[in-house]
Structures are given as C-alpha cells and as structure tokens.
Structure 1
C-alpha cells in the first residue's frame, strides 16, 4: 500500500511530467536523496508483460549541466560491468525524469551479518568491476557507498548507481564533466533546454495500456504519441549518443507555448518582494558575519606557539579552528570520505572511490556499519587516525601537500585483530593449551569509545605475535579452503583479504590500489 504522502508526491510527478502517466504506473517511492527521488514504476510491454523500472525524478533546482552530465555518465559508461544504464529520459520544463532498469535489491544492513566470506569476496569483486568501468571513462563517482551499489543476493546481480555528484578526471571522456570541471556551465543553459520540443519516439517494447489488462489498466490514461523524428534528437538537441540496451533515449513530448508576456508580468509582480527579501537577507548576513568575526577573533587570539589541545577531547580546539579554511571538493557521504578529501586536497583522483570501497570492505570484514561516523572533517580524520596511525597519516598528508599535526603518536591497528575483534570471531590456535586459547581471545577484544561524534577504536589487549603480520607481502595459507564452515568461512579469512584492505585504506592516494589492480589481487584468484 502507498501512503497518503507518497500518493500525493506521485500525483505531483504525474502533473509535472504528464508523459509519465501515458507509459508508466508509478507504484511507490523506493528512495530519496538531497537532489532526487526514486520511484518504482511498471510499464506495459508489447509482449503483454509488465516490466518494472526505476524512475529518478531530479529536483527542478538541479543545474541543467549537472543533469545532462549525469545522463551522459549513465549513457556512455552505463549498461555494462555492473554500472547502471539508462533506458529513457523525460523532460518538461525544469523537471527531468531518468528511467532506468529496476534491480530488486537487499538493504546492506539486513545482509551484513548474513553474508558468507565467499559472498563478501564476490560483492567486492563486482564493485571493483564497476569502478574499473567508470574510471576507464575518467569518471570519479565521489559517493561510493552500499546504498549506491545495489545488490541482489539471490540473483547475484549488482549495479552502481547515482552519478549526481560525479566529477571528471583531467582526461575524462565525458564531455559535460569537462564543462563542470572548467566551470563553463553557460554552454548548457536553462534556456537552451527549454527550447527543446516536438514529437518523441515511442519505446519499441513499450505500448500504451490495454483495456484487457486488469492489473494496472485503471491507473493509466491514454494519450496518442506521434513517432515523430524517430529519435534523431537527443536531450540537448544534438545527435544522439550510442543506444543503451538497444533502445533509443527520447525526449519528453512537450509543446512549449511561448508565454513571454505572461512571464514578464509575473516577474514584474515579484520584483518588490524580491527587493524586500534581499534587504532582509543582507541584514541577516551582516548579523551572521558580525558574530562569525567575533568567533574568529577569539580563536585567533590563541598564541600560535601553543600545541594543539584536541587529543582525547570530543571537540576541535580553538587553535585548529583559527587556521585558514581552504576550499576544495568534498562531495560525498560522511564516513566514506578519503583523507585527501577531509584535508581539502585540491587534486582529487579516482583514488577517493577506492578509499570508499575500502570502507565498505572494512564494514564487511568487521561486521560494523556505519564504521566511521563523525560530525565534522577533523574528527573524521582523527577517527581514521585511530585505525591507520598518526605517523602514517602525517607522512601521507605530506605527500599530497598537506601538514597534519597530532599531539600524541597513535600506533596503527593490526587490521586482522581489529576486524576479528569487532566481529567477535576469535580464531583459536590450532595447537596449545586452553590457557593459550584464552590469551589469544583476550588479545582480540576491542573497545569502542563513544562520544558525540561517533566512536574511536581502542584495543584492550596486546595482539599475539602471530597476528602482527606485515601486509607488504602476501602470504598464502595452505590450510584455508574455499568451503564454508559453520561460520560461513569467517573463521578462515585469508591474509590476502587484509592485505587488500590495507591497500584500499592506503592513506596516500598516489600509492592506493586501483580498481584494475584490485581485480587482479590474489584474493580473487577463484573469481578470475
């Protein structure tokens, strides 16, 4: 059943883009983000089958270039190697609806503790396939996280979705990402999008609703669509890109009525209100600036010779707050941002996606999600430092032109001990007394120190000598087979898994493993 609020939203969607009603019956909302809402819809095929699709409705305030860039990412890179493709695109005025294949999928939290280690390997392998695909096109996804990598456990199907925050590398093949990169957004203005009109081609396999089908017929309304120019025109009025899934992308059929005089009168009536709003806004901004200036002045009065006093506190000290803020791309989801994003490094690469993949792998191996959860970037970096160590963080930051100071040296955690301790899977030694087993288990116990910004990991014991492994070299364990035990293989996690995790969570983006390299990692030798 669809709730009243969702029903109202669906009706607004139909009203905003009437062509949707002609082809799709929208069943309900399946996702919502800052810039879009995703709906589950059914379309009638010529075979009589009702096929499900995902309809992504972009909010009208999205910049046209950003919308077109997302479509171009889906069109060029999508449809292969676990990257979501696009079937059709509708637009009317400021409203854009992207139609994609629907993949029924599990919630990551629901399956986190159900997956076997073999399934975890398959999950990561398929994620790397998707990342290799988009990175080859010069696309930096910037928001890799479980909710953006759809997973159907039963069918073993995967799909990387949501390119709304994507950026391009210097050699990107996505032309509109180049436009965004150079901030030449005027080349794809709102007015240009509004001039597109005319007839659209009907999708080959989709037909208008038949009165003989009782399942969805009452929700459809009939409207004749002229085949028109057979899809010669793309979203931006130029030639179409290659077909996706053998189908044509098509524009919304909208007869644009020129109401210039009406628009002028509306704008004129709003001028007075706009002026008054601007005056009020200026007063508000002035008040905020005054209070902000006072705070900055208070922070700047701290002697620069003083050492940072943030350690073991749940807030950032005034010395750190007094530092000049830098502007750099920091899009993404808290908890998945790479160190170079948190430290506002201006030169960010596809390595930030690999870090996010590493955080997903860390959650899978430890059974903890969300693994990191901090209220701001500096505390997020501090939490990462409790895992990777202060020395490693300082050295890595220096490599990409940043200086990180830490008031106390923090040792790097042993990744196996960390993950097994948090998962509470204690691997007993193959030989030894009961006392040895107890010591081994005690050494794996982890304590999570809570504060308002999330938590930090502390180890309550000293890891046994045989768990302090160096991950510079991969060692194979002959006793580890691919079969699942009563613990689904989690009692036999090989060293290769933690070696790969170590490479993914490399603090230095220049040496962090790439998606192509990850696919060739020995951990996946049975999946090649």
Structure 2
C-alpha cells in the first residue's frame, strides 16, 4: 500500500526549523532584487532523451550530491534548469516514485484516465521527473520557512506548483517540486497571437486567483516564474521565494485614507508649506527631521508596480496584477524586457514616459509622496498604450500612407491592459475580475468549443 509523502518527512531528513531560529534579520535591499529576466536561465526540455550536460553543470551536480548526503539515493540528478538570486533548480528523476501516493502528478492522472482498470493498478514504468530547488544557505531561516509554508498552503491551488516534500541536511535546505515541461518565453513571445494570449492569461489568472484568494502576494510575477506550455495551453506559477501574506509588516499609508483625510494631510504637509512659501517647485527642508520611509521593494526590475517603487507601506495583491500587465504589454509590443531600468528612479521615469507627469504626480500623492521632474521630453498627458504598441511594432513609420490602427482583437487586449496597468491600485482589476473580463472569457469559450468537438468525435 502506498505511503503518504508526509510519512517520509517524519522518517528521514525532514525540514526541522525550530521556533528559536525564526528571527528575521536585517537583509540588504539587494537581496530583495530577483534576477534580471535576461540573466535567468530557462530552456525547453525534451523528456524523450537525455539532454547534454555542460561540464561546469556536471561538476555543480557532483558537488551538490557530495554536500547533501543521501540525495542521490532518492533522485537521479539530470541537469540544471534554473539559476536565480536565491536558489538553483535541477531536473531529476524520482527513483522512489512508486513508493508514494503522488497526487501532485497531473500528467500521470491524465494518462491513467484512459487506462483500463487493470493497468491503473499497476506501477508506472515510465520515468517521473521532479524539480529539486536548492535554496542558498545565504537565505535567512525565516525566508526559507516562509516559502515552504506558503507552498504548503497552496498545494491544492489551480495552476500553482505544489510542494511535494522538503529535506534539510546541516545548513542546506532543498524543496522537491513537480517538474513541468515548458518552453522558454523568449522562444514564442514575438509570435503569440491574441487568441493564444487569452489562453496564457487565463491560466495565469487562475493561478493568481488561487494565490490571492488566500491573501498571499507572489511579489515576483514575470515570464520566467510562469512556466507555460503552449501545446497544452497550460502554465504553472512557480518561485514563491519573495511571496508574503498580505498585511505582513504593514504601516499606515496615505492610500488607505479617505479622499477627505488625504486632502487634509496633503494640505498640512511640508510639501504644501513649501508651495505656499512661493516655491514653484518642491524643495527639501533645510533641517529634515523625518525618518526615511521603509517598505518592501522585493521583486524584479521592470515588473514592479508604481506603489512598490513609491514605497507604499500597505501593498496588497494588486501589485501582482500590474506585473501581469507588464507581461501583456511585452507580448503586444513584441519587446522583452519592455522596461529595463537601472534603479527605482529610472523605473518611475519609464512609467512616467507612458502615463505622463500629471498621472505620476497624482499617483505619488496618493501614497504621500511628491513626484517632480524637469525632463522636458516628458509630457503631462503621456502617450496612449495604443500608440506605444503601434510604435513598437513598426506601424507608425510611414506618414504619407493611410493611418495604421490596431485590429479589433488588439484593441480589446489594450482595453484589458488599461485595467491591469492602472496606476491607482484601488482601481486596478483583480484576478477574479480578470477571469470575467471579455478578453479572458473568450478563452473559456474557445476551450468549450474544443471540448464539444472532442465529444462529437467520440460519439
């Protein structure tokens, strides 16, 4: 009789983090910076044959096996499939797959649906792959515990990579996750049709609906953290290393006040006093006594929402929706990465170049901050997303010819994009609302049509 994975944790090298160890240390801000999208590794895997392994990767695998006693008895490491700021991920064959109840294995469940009852009871003979995430020892115990705790809570969530089990050996912790075959985003983002984008975001928002439903912020939504298989029109959300529960370390921000309260606070601020004293632009007070604002800025450059850049101290799940909007903008513009800033100031200026100075000033005041720039090329109104996409796709060059416009499907996608890239987080669309938006509901209709065709063939 199959044993549950939980029993294995109790019998062997289980993760045992004591309460005494759960003390958050001061972490450098750079540790909250996820790897640049262009620097992260990602590849298309073919399970039908053994992929070639570079010598440096083979040496890395050997060092890992030597440092983590017993790992090679449970898993046969095959290749390194990801490398980021906080961890390295390996593809491995699960050597003890048949000894456990593997409810996490979606592909095996799908395959067994079509088997006869006799074959369903037999152990599977094909190799089964997992992803082994080696979390770097430089990560704080609290960060590691938090990631595993959140993954455990999300184990039954749609389109979210579940935690199979975890092990600890000395100061090294590894998480065992399902291996999902997928394609590198860079291989298909330039060629994706609108109908394919609908399916992509349907899967992504199903994942975010599950995550946000449990009041969890992923904080690092980007293409490399959503493993998508275009052939199956199915993706899975991974890497919860920066995720947190909503409300963690919250402090009051002006965005949580009523409009009247916010106007009163602004009118009595240092900013208002400098304006009243005759200064046309903001100036710093000569003797600054206020402490600097601290807020969670974790994420990846180019995907952070405006409120993250403005150090809002009451960030919520809407930050993930902005990041999803950046992915959609990337697909529509055929440019990756779309934003490529060096720091938070550059990131704010990039957003300003699209949405304009007026919108950015309003957004800053919403969070009790002041935004000023004297760069002459930035207009007050900014540019429409339609114009940005036409420019990026080379449809604005010929001034003498007829005016080029987006087609009807692109226009619908842009209207949806405006709901995602709304600078005011209180007005930004939620994952649940996104799944009911016409842009996404058409993906459900297409899926139902395909199922009807299958039923017709079966009949």
TM-score, scaled to structure 2: 0.68
Tell me which of 138, 141, 160 is aligned to 2:218: 141
State the shift of 1:403 in Å: 1.7
**Map of 1:236-315 to 2, 5 A cutoff?**
307=281
Matched residue, 2:118: none
**Map of 1:478-489 to 2, 5 A cutoff?**
none
SS across alignment from 1:122: helix
Tell me which of 48, 55, 63 is aligned to 2:132: 55
The answer to whether the Cα contact below 8 Å between 1:17 and 1:90 also exists between their aligned partners in 2 is: no
The answer to whether the Cα contact below 8 Å between 1:26 and 1:39 also exists between their aligned partners in 2 is: yes
Q: Distance in 2 between matches of 1:341 and 1:65?
A: 22
| 2:320 counterpart of 1:348 | no
Matched residue, 1:217: none
The answer to whether the Cα contact below 8 Å between 1:145 and 1:360 also exists between their aligned partners in 2 is: yes
The answer to whether the Cα contact below 8 Å between 1:60 and 1:94 also exists between their aligned partners in 2 is: yes
Tell me which of 331, 334, 339 is aligned to 2:306: 339
Matched residue, 2:392: 422
State the shift of 1:100 in Å: 0.8
Q: Distance in 2 between matches of 1:426 and 1:493?
A: 19
SS across alignment from 2:336: coil
SS across alignment from 2:177: strand
State the shift of 1:6 in Å: 1.5
Shift in CA distance, 327/151, structure 1 to aligned 2, threshold 3 Å: same
Tell me which of 65, 69, 82 is aligned to 1:31: 82
Matched residue, 2:182: 105
The answer to whether the Cα contact below 8 Å between 1:24 and 1:41 also exists between their aligned partners in 2 is: yes
| 2:344 counterpart of 1:380 | no
Shift in CA distance, 104/415, structure 1 to aligned 2, threshold 3 Å: same
Shift in CA distance, 417/306, structure 1 to aligned 2, threshold 3 Å: closer
Tell me which of 28, 33, 42 is aligned to 2:93: 42
State the shift of 1:330 in Å: 0.5
The answer to whether the Cα contact below 8 Å between 1:386 and 1:411 also exists between their aligned partners in 2 is: no
**Map of 1:48-197 to 2, 5 A cutoff?**
48-170=125-247, 181=249
Shift in CA distance, 8/308, structure 1 to aligned 2, threshold 3 Å: farther
Matched residue, 1:3: 54
State the shift of 1:308 in Å: 7.7
**Map of 1:431-510 to 2, 5 A cutoff?**
438-441=401-404, 491-510=407-426
Q: Distance in 2 between matches of 1:413 and 1:324?
A: 36
Tell me how many residue pairs correspond in the alignment: 337
Q: Distance in 2 between matches of 1:513 and 1:492?
A: 21
The answer to whether the Cα contact below 8 Å between 2:435 and 2:441 also exists between their aligned partners in 1 is: no
Could you say what the CA RMSD is over the residues aligned between the two structures, in angstroms? 3.0
State the shift of 1:103 in Å: 0.7
State the shift of 1:417 in Å: 2.2
Matched residue, 2:372: 405
Matched residue, 2:436: 520
Shift in CA distance, 12/38, structure 1 to aligned 2, threshold 3 Å: same
State the shift of 1:150 in Å: 0.5
Structure 1 alignment gaps of length 5 or more: 171-177, 183-303, 310-318, 428-434, 442-466, 468-489
Matched residue, 1:479: none
Tell me which of 371, 374, 377 is aligned to 2:338: 371
SS across alignment from 2:342: coil
Shift in CA distance, 425/24, structure 1 to aligned 2, threshold 3 Å: farther
State the shift of 1:364 in Å: 0.7
The answer to whether the Cα contact below 8 Å between 2:146 and 2:244 also exists between their aligned partners in 1 is: no
Structure 2 alignment gaps of length 5 or more: 1-51, 99-123, 251-277, 445-459
